[in-house]
A and B are shown apart, each in its own frame.
Chain A
Amino acid sequence: MGETVSTPTLELCDIRKSFGPIEVLHGIDIALRSGEVHALIGENGAGKSTTMKILAGYQPATSGKILLDGKEVTFDSLHEGEEAGIVMIHQEFNLAEQLTVEQNIFLGRELRKGWLLDKAEMRRLTRSYLDRVKCRVHPDTPVSKLSNSDKQMVEIAKALSRDARVVIMDEPTAVLTNREAGILFEQVRAMREAGTAILFTSHKLSEVAEIADQVTVMRDGAVVRACPASDITEDEMATAMVGRDVSDLYPKHREEAENELALSVSGLDVPGFAEGISFDLYRGEIFGIAGLIGSGRTEAMEGLCGLRPATRDAMQINGQDVSIRKPSDALAHGLCYLTEDRKLRGLLLERGMRENLTLQALPKFGTLLIDRSAEEKALDQAIKDFDIRAGRRDVKVGNLSGGNQQKLLLAKVMQSEPKILIVDEPTRGIDIGTKQQIYAFLRRLADEGHAIIMVSSEMQELIGMADRVAVMRTGRIAGTLSGKDITEDAIVRLAMGVGATEYGAKKELA
C-alpha cells in the first residue's frame, strides 16, 4: 500500500501555527489518503496535537493550506470539519457522561419519525455499530458507567455512524488493554478496507509498526521523517523522535539486591477489587506489578496506602507492625502512592506548579502559616532535579505537556520524602525521552535504598525495570516472577490464567 498516487483526501501544505509570537508548527506537510492508516509520532510537545486539531478544524492555522480532495478549504468551526466527514476522537473522550450510549451516538443528529424520535431505528443502528466494534455494552447504559475501553469503542461506533471519511485518533490505545487494542485494530483495518483515511498517534511504536501504512515523525514542531511504514524500523522511529539514540532506555539493574525487608503485607483485601494479596518488598528493589486493566492492581495499591477501605491480616514496615487506615497514616510511615491518573487524581490543573508541588507535604512548609519562599525554593529545586520544562513559572499545570505534568507529579510525591514509593503507570502517555528520565530516576531512588513498587500495563517497561514482577489476575496475585523468568510470555500467561502453575503461582484459594 501507499503506492497509489491518488489525490489525498485531506492534506496539509506548509502549515504554520503561532501562539502569540511563538511559532509552534514550522511548515507541516502531511497527506492522508483514502484506505491508508497514517501514524503520527513524536515526543510530547512535538506538535502532534496541534497538527491534529488543525486537520480536524478545531483550530485555524496561522498560514498554509488545507486541501480537501485537492481543493483548498478553511474550516471556520469544528462543525464544518464534521460536515466534511472528518471525525476526531480525543484522548479525553467527548461523550456526554449522563446520556446513554445510544443517545451519545446519535447526539445532535437524532433520527425522527414525524415529530417524535425514532427510537426503534436508533436502537437497531446503535446495536449494529456496537456489534461491528465487538462492544457488548447495552445501548441504554449511561456512558458514566462504562470503562475507558468501552468509551473508546463507543467513540469509534459514533465515528462509524457518521460515515466518516477521515478519522483522527489521539492515542486511541493509551487506555486499552492489549486485547482491546487488538479489537480496535481490527476495526481500523475494516475502516481502511472501506476506504476511510485514518490518522492516529501513539507512543507505542510496536503498534505503529503493526498497523500503519505511512509514518510521519515530528520533532520540535517540524516533520523530521515521513515514509511508508515498511521503510522504517521501531528503533529508527525512536531515534528520529528523540533526535538521539535511545537504545539505553532502561538503566542497568542492580547487581545484587539487599535483603533488608522494607514492607511486608499479608492477606490484603480490598472489598470488590482484590483479595488475599501478600508480598514482601525489599529495600533497593523495584517490584513490578503486572496484570490486565481491571485486575485490581491499582485498587490493591490504593487499599495498601489507605486511599480506599481495605483490611489486612498483617502489615509491617521496616519490621514494625503498622495500621494504615487513611492516607496520612501511610505518609507517616514513609509509604507514598503516585496515581495512575495524573489529570483527575494527581494534579490540580487549574492551579500553578508551586501549589501543586507542596500540597501533599504542606506541614513541611510552615506550621501556622505557609512559608511561600520555602515553597518557591522547593519549586526551583524540583524544576532542576526533574528537568521540568514549563516555559513560565506561573503556568497553570493543565497547560503543561503530559511529560512535564508527570515529572511534576513525581516531584510532588517526592516532597513527602517516601521510603517506599508506589508508582502506578509512571510513564503512561508520555514521550520516550521523558520515560528514559523517569526510569533513570526510579532506579537511582532504588539504588539509594528506597523500595519501589511499579504498577504497569507496559510489559517491556516491567521487564526492563523490575527485579521481580507479581502478576495479578481477577483481584489476586496469580504468580511472581523474578530475574530471567520475567518474560512477556510468562506475564501474559499468568495475567490470562493459562499455564499459571508452570511459573510457580500460588494456589488460588477459591
Chain B
Amino acid sequence: MTSETTNSKQSGRALPSMSVLGPILALVLLVVVGALLNPNFLGAANITNVLARSAFIGIIAVGMTFVITAGGLDLSVGSMAAFIAGLMILVMNAALPSMGVGVPIILLGMLVAIVAGILAGLLNGFLITTVGIEAFIVTLGTMGIYRSLVTWLADGGTLSLDFGLRTFYRPVYFDGILGISWPIIVFALVVIIGEIVMSRARFGRHCAATGSNEHVAHYSNVNVNRTRLITYALLGLLVGVATIMYVPRLGSASSSTGVLWELEAIAAVIIGGTVLKGGFGRVWGTVIGVLILSLIDNILNLTDLVSPYLNGAIQGVIIILAVILQREAKAKG
C-alpha cells in the first residue's frame, strides 16, 4: 500500500504508471532486443515492412478498441475482411468489361468495401443491441457465416483480381508519399482520429460510460443502444478500410484470408491496456499492442534463435503477462 500523502501531490500522473509504462517498456525492450540480434532490424526496409504489415490488424484493432470499451466484442472481423475482400474482387472483375481499368473501378471497389463493412457491422450491432443477443454469440455466428460465404463465392478455391486491375491497384499497398507507404499513412490517420475521439470527444466518453455500467449510462441520458450500434458499425467500416489496403497486396481472397485476425486484434487491444469487460479503453495502447505482436513475429523471422513456429506461443505468453501486470497495477492503485 503506497502512502496517501506522497501520492496526493502527483497521484493522477503517478498512479497508472505500471499500466501505462508496461506496454511501452515492453515495446522498447523488443526494439532493443531486435536491434542487438540483427543489424538489419532497424533498417528502413524492415521498419516499413513491419509497419505496413501491422496496418491491417492495427486499423481493425482501433475499431475493436471502441467495441470492447463499450462492453462489446466482435469475433467476426477476420471472416468479415475475407468476405469483403472476396466481394470487392468479384464486383471489380464483373465491372471490368464495362468500366475498364482505371481509377473509377478502383473507387467502385473501395465503395463496395466500405459499404459492405458498415452494413456487416450494423448487422452485428443490430442483433446485439436491438434483438438483445450476447455479442459473443452473435459474432461467433456471423464469423461462421462470412467465412462460409467467402469459401462459397470462391467455390472452395481462390478469388483472384484480374491481372490488369491488380497491376493498376498495386501501388495502393506498395507506394506512398515521401517513402511512407499508404497503409502506414492510413493506419496513422485512423489512430490519430481514434485517439482523439476516444479521449476527447463525447462519443468516447459515452463508450466508456456504457461499458462501465450501462444502467448508469442510461440514467445519464446516454443512448446505450445507439452508442453500441455505432461502435460495431465503426468497426465494420474500419474492416472495410483495412480490406481496401489488403487486397492490392496479394490481389486475391480465399477461405484462408484473415484467419485469426479477430484474435490478433483483440489481443492487441488487451495488451494495450483496454479492459476486456469494458469501461476503459485507450487507442494509443492498442497501437503499442499491435506493434508488440508484429515485432515478435518479425524478430523471430529475422533471427534463428527461436523457431518462428513458436510465434504463437510467445504471443500467448505476452497476452497473459500483460493482463497479469495490469491486474497488479490495479491492485496497488
Contacts and interface: CB of A to CB of B under 8 A. Distances in A.
A20 B4 contact: yes
A483 interface: no
B221 A344 contact: no
A19 B4 contact: yes
B39 interface: no
A362 interface: yes
Interface stretch (B133-141, B175-183, B211-219): B211-219
A359 interface: yes
B215 A326 contact: no
Contact of B1 (A19, A326, A350, A362): A19
Nearest to B5: A21
Given A21-B4, A369-B200, A394-B11, A327 B218 contact: yes
Given A20-B2, A21-B5, A337 B219 contact: yes
B167 to A, nearest CB: 42
B333 to A, nearest CB: 9
A327 B223 CA distance: 9
Given A20-B5, A350-B280, A344 B209 contact: no
B97 interface: no
Given A359-B205, A360-B221, A344 B215 contact: yes
25 contacts: A19-B4, A20-B5, A21-B4, A307-B219, A328-B221, A339-B219, A344-B215, A344-B216, A345-B215, A348-B209, A348-B216, A348-B279, A350-B280, A351-B209, A351-B279, A359-B217, A359-B222, A360-B221, A362-B206, A369-B196, A370-B200, A391-B8, A392-B7, A392-B8, A394-B15
Interface string B211-238: 0110111111111000000000000000
A346 B5 contact: no
Interface string A332-375: 00000101000011111111000100011011001011100000
Interface string B1-38: 11111011001100100000000000000000000000
A359 B227 CA distance: 14
B227 to A, nearest CB: 12
B209 A359 contact: yes
Contacts of A5: none
Interface in A366-425: 366, 368-370, 391-394, 412, 416
4 closest A-B pairs by CB: A360-B220, A394-B12, A20-B4, A369-B200
Contacts of B202: 362-363, 366, 370
Interface residues of A, number: 34
A289 interface: no
B64 to A, nearest CB: 21
A394 B202 CA distance: 20
A362 B215 CA distance: 17
A360 B201 CA distance: 14
Contact of B216 (A22, A331, A346, A369): A346
Contacts of B223: 326, 328
Interface of A: 19-22, 307, 326-328, 331, 337, 339, 344-351, 355, 359-360, 362-363, 366, 368-370, 391-394, 412, 416
B200 A345 contact: no
A206 to B, nearest CB: 31
A355 B205 contact: yes
A394 B8 CA distance: 9
Nearest to A326: B223
Nearest to B279: A350
B219 A345 contact: yes
Contacts of A393: 12
A366 B5 CA distance: 34
Given A327-B218, A345-B215, 20 more contacts: A19-B1, A20-B3, A21-B3, A307-B218, A331-B221, A339-B219, A344-B215, A346-B216, A346-B219, A348-B212, A351-B279, A355-B205, A359-B205, A359-B209, A359-B217, A362-B206, A370-B200, A370-B205, A391-B8, A393-B12
Nearest to B206: A362
A348 B213 contact: yes
**Which among A326, A328, A359, A360 has the highest number of chain B CB atoms within 10 Å?**
A359
A84 B82 CA distance: 62
A413 B8 CA distance: 28
A359 B220 contact: yes
Nearest to A337: B219
Contacts of A350: 212, 279-280
A366 B201 CA distance: 9
A455 to B, nearest CB: 15
Contacts of B3: 20-21
B1 A20 contact: yes
A329 to B, nearest CB: 10
Contacts of B7: 392
Residue among B2, B15, B196, B209 with max Cβ neighbours from chain A (10 Å): B209
Nearest to B202: A362
B219 A327 contact: yes
Contacts of A416: 221
